Amino acid sequence: MIWFLLYNVLSPFLLLGALLAACFSGRGRQWVRESLNWRALSQRLGLSGSNPRAAIAIHAASLGEARSLANFLKVIHQEAPHQAVHMTCMTTAGLQFIETAYIPKGWVETASLVPLDIWPAAALFFSKMRRLKVFILVETELWPNLIAEAKNRGLFLCLINGRLSEKTKKWLGWFPSLGRHLFGSFDAICLTEEGGRDYLKTLGVQAHSLTVTGNIKWDTATGQAVLEQAAFADARNRMGLGREEFLWVAASTREGEEEIVLSVFKEIFARRKELRLAIAPRHVERNLEVLKLAQAYGFRAVLLSRLTKGLSAEVPVVVVDEFGVLTKFYDAADGVFVGGTLVPKIGGHNFLEPAARGRPIAIGPYFENFKEVGEEFIEAQALVVARGAKELVAIMEGWVKNPDIRFRLGGRAKEMFQNFSGATQKTWSVLKNLGVAS
């Protein structure tokens, strides 16, 4: 196809442009530094990292997607223990998590950084995977050369936890033939929401390949949740929080949201000195930027890595600068705000883990990534939406003043969460029908 030829002609130049642009951003510079060692570079180029014993290869974009696959990988290990699994990731943080969390358990045999989506790298990667039968992509990881190589080699190609954000639908609207070809290449597509299946049907994707399985993140959050009151008290004790202190966790915040959160916190803190705030920026490398912002609002704030004593009225703000600890803050939280929802064009980050713990949750008006589920939660009064700082002040102050309000909201969130579990088994059933377990 013409678009595929153009993609391969232009992709080296686009990659070079992306590398140059990355040098001017904090996250980009970090990615470049991480990629400029021989182990990472050789894996990006497809020269190393392949596992010739692997029967199943799974690609997850980053740390968040890798974490969400815990229950799914456990099911594969239980149902098909003889099938070696190789897992790839875009980021070194995700790769490190796989190597420390999944490989020691035996759920994954080997892991590597995913090769760049240029033809030689993709071809080299797959050429060494001589026993590979299945290639599984997670969510919206649609890489044309990886998909084409997998199909050319006769692999079963599956997309799991697939979701179509408004941004994805927009570019599919611009290039419908590209979308039809990419999605039409999959033998099975497991979608999180009914709307995704309806949209792909209109695009021309065969209905028999589309199944709505739900979101496997729900099941992973269930496995990780700490729901008992004793565990709640223990988590708060470990953070030095007294019974009367109120911990507000602002999770996965994006640029432009921290200012709103801090202004809300400042207004309420002036009246309620028992309020404490933990801000966890979505991109942990922004921690110093967020710390300085909190200090500019007049607070004595500290990074989590340097917190030696608990939070107090004198030091009421902590900025989370460590990976993998957000769930501990959910365990201890009295109220949660989930970011990526107060600023447009992000689409929102998932609120599953605080819901699993029965925590009251507030989000902003931009939650396109979880539109159907979010609307069901809102209709069930299991989630509240703040359209700006003024509404967020009213919500948070209501939670601080009236525990019954937040307990009812958190209880409904937990009930709704439990209604949505089971996606892992549904996804595995689809793959098993393709012969993955044999």
Q: Taking each helix axis from N to C terminus, what angle separates 2-22 and 176-184, rounded to the nearest 10 degrees?
A: 100
Neighbours of 238 (CB within 10 A): 12
Q: Is 433 helix (H, G, I), strand (E, B) or coil?
A: helix
Per-residue pLDDT at 228: 53
Residue 37 clears pLDDT 90, i.e. is over it = no
Instruction: Report yes or no: 57 and 88 within 8 Å, Cβ to Cβ.
Output: yes
Distance (Å, rounded) from C-alpha 7 to C-alpha 12? 9
Amino acid occupying residue 396? M
Per-residue pLDDT at 246: 96
Distance (Å, rounded) from C-alpha 343 to C-alpha 253? 10
Per-residue pLDDT at 240: 82
Instruction: Report yes or no: 314 and 299 within 8 Å, Cβ to Cβ.
Output: no
Distance (Å, rounded) from C-alpha 282 to C-alpha 287? 10
Q: Is 47 helix (H, G, I), strand (E, B) or coil?
A: coil
Per-residue pLDDT at 119: 87
Instruction: Report yes or no: 103 and 77 within 8 Å, Cβ to Cβ.
Output: no
Closest CA to 140 of 99, 191, 106, 77: 191
Per-residue pLDDT at 19: 64
Per-residue pLDDT at 2: 77
Per-residue pLDDT at 221: 66
Per-residue pLDDT at 318: 96
Residue 164 clears pLDDT 90, i.e. is over it = no
CATH architecture, domain 41-214+422-433: 3-Layer(aba) Sandwich (3.40)
Closest CA to 192 of 245, 113, 237, 139: 139
DSSP H or E stretch at residue 44:
helix 38-44
Q: How far is CA 23 from the centre of its chain?
A: 25
Residue 6 clears pLDDT 90, i.e. is over it = no
Work out the average pLDDT over 262-279.
97
Per-residue pLDDT at 183: 95
> What residue segments make up the domains of the chain, in order of their start?
41-214+422-433, 224-419
Distances in Å between the alpha carbon of 153 and those of 116, 130, 135, 191? 18, 10, 11, 25
- Over residues 105-120, the pLDDT tens digits come to 999 999 999 999 998 9
Residue 29 clears pLDDT 80, i.e. is over it = no
Work out the average pLDDT over 426-436.
90
Residue 28 clears pLDDT 80, i.e. is over it = no
CATH of domain 224-419: 3.40.50.2000
Per-residue pLDDT at 9: 76
Closest CA to 189 of 154, 141, 221: 141
Per-residue pLDDT at 182: 93
Work out the average pLDDT over 369-384.
93
Distances in Å between the alpha carbon of 357 and those of 14, 241, 301? 43, 18, 27
Per-residue pLDDT at 226: 43
CB contact set of 9 (below 8 Å; sequence gap of 6+) = none
Q: Taking each helix axis from N to C terminus, what angle separates 257-269 and 389-401, rounded to the nearest 10 degrees?
A: 40
Task: List the structure tokens of 276.
Answer: 């404490």
Pairing of strands 246-253, 317-319: unpaired
Distance (Å, rounded) from C-alpha 249 to C-alpha 233? 16
Distance (Å, rounded) from C-alpha 271 to C-alpha 280? 24
Work out the average pLDDT over 73-94.
94
Burial of 246 (0-12, 13-18, 19+ CB in 10 A): buried
Work out the average pLDDT over 289-301.
97
Residue 26 clears pLDDT 90, i.e. is over it = no
276 pairs with which residues across the strands? Answer: 247
What percentage of the chain exceeds 90 in pLDDT?
67
Per-residue pLDDT at 302: 95
Distance (Å, rounded) from C-alpha 361 to C-alpha 280? 15
41-214+422-433 and 224-419, same CATH topology: yes
Distance (Å, rounded) from C-alpha 122 to C-alpha 50? 11
Distance (Å, rounded) from C-alpha 208 to C-alpha 187? 9
Per-residue pLDDT at 12: 72
Per-residue pLDDT at 22: 59
Distance (Å, rounded) from C-alpha 311 to C-alpha 307? 8
Closest CA to 165 of 199, 135, 207, 213: 199
Q: Which residue has the tokens 């989000």?
A: 363
Across 102-196, the runs of DSSP E, i.e. the strands, are 110-113, 134-138, 156-162, 188-191
- Over residues 347-373, the pLDDT tens digits come to 999 898 999 999 999 999 999 988 889
Per-residue pLDDT at 298: 97
Residue 27 clears pLDDT 70, i.e. is over it = no
Q: Is 142 helix (H, G, I), strand (E, B) or coil?
A: coil
- Over residues 206-263, the pLDDT tens digits come to 999 999 999 998 887 665 554 456 667 777 877 788 889 999 999 999 999 999 999 9
Mean pLDDT of the chain: 90
Alpha helix locations (H) across 251-370? Answer: 257-269, 287-296, 326-332, 352-356
Helices vs. strands in the chain: H and E counts, helices first: 21, 14
Per-residue pLDDT at 406: 95
The better pLDDT of the pair 292, 13 is held by: 292
Per-residue pLDDT at 424: 94
Q: How many residues does the chain have?
A: 438
Q: Is 25 helix (H, G, I), strand (E, B) or coil?
A: coil
Alpha helix locations (H) across 153-256? Answer: 166-174, 176-184, 194-203, 216-224, 229-238
pTM over 0.75: yes
Which of 24-33, 183-192, 317-326 is predicted with the least confidence, judged by mean pLDDT? 24-33
